[in-house]
Chain A
């Protein structure tokens, strides 16, 4: 009973804290001009008339997909490998995965632009090359989420059992590790997609037009539009993340067998 009260109270209070500012933004975006002007949807309807927005949305969605997939393929096998074979490297990987957050993007871009210059001249000038930088930007968040997930399962025993039964490494990753950390992977994906959709600085300083840059440009039309586009972008990202979280649902296996395993009753070794 008390957990119910705790739960309801907590969710209600936090809900207020997070939703009230957004409600304030929404309220502002429907204001008319001048004192005692009537409410208007003009700031919202004008979003639909902006021609370049669809290109920017497509680019950002493609970037989100590429970044999330690349992040998983780069990070998850490495993290599992380090846990199993080179535990001493854990702190090094941890520090590297925190580096993108140590210095602000505006100065990181100073170091990244020579590399992007080389890429633009020798590989491609397309906006999708932003994915190279975005994978780096999502590393801190994805690492932390995946680390929490991997810490809560016994990676060593699971992989040893699988390997001793003849499973290859790809099978171990895909059919043993991944299904056992669904929440961690989902949250890493959610954070990556949300980051790419909300990313402004890198794209802006490299003169690419992604979703947020297009919104910033559109927002200079007038005050109401600058806020309505921001709220619309939040809603868009929210709907997309909900869709992703529903797709993830089908992959969740039943953990019944593992949960009743006596080994998990002891506060045992954390790998």
Chain B
């Protein structure tokens, strides 16, 4: 295999790997926004999930870490739900506060659990699981079919969420809630219950994203390690036009942008690496301006909740 093919394959594999945490968080945020709510607490949920995954994996292996991550993410989401949906406080500020609190809490817990010597912590990780036959394909094989289980799981979520949103009654109810809460309520939809459920599920998914980050990517925990990936998920939802398939593509796009960093380094081009740090965010900004007719935000998104 030529060197270029190797680099390309490596780049694609990195793109897919990096995109997975984003895909989890964005899929969750998609559900929340489809119900008419913007949850900035997704960053906090992801971070909490990351820490819980580290702690859980240290205690009982990677799957315990996953379970802990889902619960932790859900707990963070529960706080958001209680204040923004239960008490109907401003959803933006609530989400920000929740994330702030999660940063503080995870930092404090991490320090007290692991002491000041954080880096160097090594955790049992999810190894890539190659799919027999497909993994051998040139270039795309390792990229698409030799990924950790959590990546395959994330991909399976996409059609599942699609079916839920567009073929099931509860998905219809969710969409109705996001378009017009009063009309949905008049049609008998339990609006608050739908929103709270969506928020909790999204919290669990964000936690799962955090777990993926720790257990299938980085291998350790560091303070504030999510570095805004949760917030980036919001941009992913916008770029993906609030559609599960779009969210998948958008996540891959952002994964690719970050993976470019490694590819450029491997090719020995002397470009300052900070450009690649900035690239996903700039891409998201540019994406926010694109308006495709017909594929737009839920009409009730961001409105004061009633």
| A and B assemble together | no
Q: Measuring CB to CB, which residues of chain B are less than 8 angstroms from any residue of chain A?
A: none
